[in-house]
Amino acid sequence: MRRILYVIPFLFLLALSCEKDNTSPTKADTDQEIIKNWDKSPEAYLRDSTLYLTKLLSLWQESIVPSNINDILDTVKVRRITKDYDKAEDLLDYLIGLTPKDSKGQPYDRFSFLDRQGAVAEEIQEGTGTSYGIYVLYLQTAESAKDNNNADLYVRMLDLNSPAYVAGLRRGDRILSINGNTKYDYNTQKAQNFKGINDALNSNSMNVKWQKPNGEIIEKTITQAKYNINPILSTWVKDIEGKKVGYFAFSSFISILSNQGQLNSLYTSLQNLFNSYETQGVSELIIDLRYNGGGSTYTAEYLANKLAPAAATGKRMYYYKLNPIVQEELAEDFKPVDFNKFGNLNLTKVYFLVTSSTASASELLINSLKPYLNVQIIGSENTYGKPVGFWGIPIGKKGAQADIYVTSFQMFNADNYGNYFEGLVPNKLTREDFLKDFGDVEEGFIAEAIYHIKNGSYSTATRSAVSAKDAQRINNTHLLKSIQSNRATDAGMFKFGKEKIKLK
């Protein structure tokens, strides 16, 4: 039996979601001006609750104000800090800015956030999204560079089952116009801080004209809608140099457990995929996590147990670092996690394909396997660098409600390594081919993995793993900017509720 977290039942936190009356400070002789002008708005209450929970739960608790943690029980002392901020998000930005700085001078906590729409619960726990399901970027090709060093808008990724995917858009397609407007090129959008493209992607409906790599031009109207997310974007098994090699692209660690505590369709899909690998005798596996921003730690644990060797069973997968209060109050829920091998997949090597968008639960999976398996990392840069996580707690009153996610735990593998705030470093740096789809063996990252499988070493030149024609095109293609989506899993690593379940 495996015990995992899925809802937060902790009694010492339960009161925080209730409507406490913070409108009547108990010390009438303290800060008379604050009391006289006491803000009774829902937003003020949300700000106060944000300070309370951030101080209580933060991994960097000692850096968060007030210095004396008992002061968070004094409503006037809390209000001294919160009153100068318009929104709870502004206050949270200030608080996380107090955490220790990394080598680049940035605060370690760049992760804590407020979710007013409940998007995290919808996407990660329910496995659904409400959007176009399209992710775009600006690519500068040899042709677009001739136009004042400009760049064009391309599709980076799509969610399977999403409105954009159903309409026929695919990775590598070039967006020609939206609602008849052709001014979505890089130079035009940069001049307006990319407002035009962000407004379009946040609209309810848009008419899109795009060009396929073969030159075909298509135009359709797409409407935002709710859809079931399938994060398994592409899979295959191939014979390469006498070895059975598997591949799958995985875009998000949505939970394999539903809100009702039942194993869901993602679990079934993953089980079928790994059963297929076992039946076909796959010995080396390529896992494409290049845009996987994380999600449920439970799904990461499931995959780790599928990938690990049988000898890892009973040995440490990862353990937690917590602040003293969380450690004392919630120790039972943050016990170290050990391997429990599922299935009969016997891998000699696993390749992970990564970019700086590879984060959180993706990094946890890679880091946890390193002490037990030959792990190879191929990518264009270090991964994002998020060895920490959080869980959601509902706070606020009607008119200003949110789920707050405070960075509360850090994870370390069996080798006691977990300080990768600057990312996991690839074994091989190479360039991504944005114009080839997931699973294409001629795509840059995938081609490099196959080269290593064939030769036992990486190509010496940056692009010798692909054809000369592709190498020239890739070297003349430059990523200028990815447009950030509103995808909840981009936020990171989530640990949810308590359920007991038996996995196979």
Find the CATH number of the domain harbouring 317: 3.90.226.10
Separation CA 473–CA 301 (nearest Å): 39
Please check whether residues 109 and 145 belong to one and the same domain.
no
Please check whether residues 77 and 160 belong to one and the same domain.
no
Q: Is residue 340 included in any domain, yes or no?
A: yes
Please check whether residues 298 and 368 belong to one and the same domain.
yes
Please check whether residues 47 and 101 belong to one and the same domain.
yes
Q: Average pLDDT in the 226-241 region?
A: 95
Please check whether residues 109 and 183 belong to one and the same domain.
no
pLDDT interval class at 387 (50, 70, 90): very high
**Which H helix or E strand runs over 93?**
helix 88-96
Judged by average pLDDT, the poorest of 103-117, 383-397, 464-478 is 464-478
- In eight-state DSSP terms, residue 484 is P
pLDDT > 90 in the chain, percent: 71
Q: Is residue 489 included in any domain, yes or no?
A: no
pLDDT digits (tens, 9 = 90+) for 338-384: 999 999 999 999 999 999 999 999 999 999 999 999 999 999 999 99
Please check whether residues 72 and 107 belong to one and the same domain.
yes
| pLDDT at res. 30 | 58
Q: Is residue 484 included in any domain, yes or no?
A: no
| pLDDT at res. 296 | 87
Domain span including residue 189: 128-227
Q: Is residue 403 included in any domain, yes or no?
A: no
> Taking a C-beta distance cutoff of 8 angstroms, is the pair 74, 27 a contact?
yes
Q: Is residue 401 included in any domain, yes or no?
A: no
Please check whether residues 58 and 139 belong to one and the same domain.
no
Q: Per the structure block, which two tokens stand in for 70?
A: 């008992």
Report whether pLDDT(29) > 90: no
Separation CA 481–CA 137 (nearest Å): 6
Please check whether residues 174 and 243 belong to one and the same domain.
no
Q: Is residue 417 included in any domain, yes or no?
A: yes
How many residues are given for the chain? 504
Q: Average pLDDT in the 183-198 region?
A: 94
> Taking a C-beta distance cutoff of 8 angstroms, is the pair 141, 152 a contact?
yes
Q: For the chain, percent helix, then strand, then coil, each to nearest 5?
A: 30, 25, 40
DSSP string, 32-53: HHHHHT---SHHHHHHHHHHHH
Please check whether residues 336 and 431 belong to one and the same domain.
yes
Say if pTM beats, i.e. exceeds, 0.75.
yes
Q: Per the structure block, which two tokens stand in for 303?
A: 């995959």
Judged by average pLDDT, the poorest of 206-210, 241-245, 295-299 is 295-299
Nearest to 25 by CA among 71, 79, 67, 70: 79
pLDDT > 70 in the chain, percent: 85
Q: Is residue 404 included in any domain, yes or no?
A: no
Q: Is residue 285 included in any domain, yes or no?
A: yes
Separation CA 360–CA 493 (nearest Å): 5
Please check whether residues 301 and 445 belong to one and the same domain.
yes
Q: Per the structure block, which two tokens stand in for 67?
A: 């210095």
| pLDDT at res. 32 | 82
How do strand 295-296 and strand 284-288 relate by DSSP bridges? unpaired
Q: Average pLDDT in the 152-170 region?
A: 95
Nearest to 246 by CA among 261, 236, 258: 236
Q: Which of 178, 198, 227 corresponds to the end of one domain?
A: 227
**Structural domain count, the chain:** 3
How do strand 428-429 and strand 375-379 relate by DSSP bridges? parallel
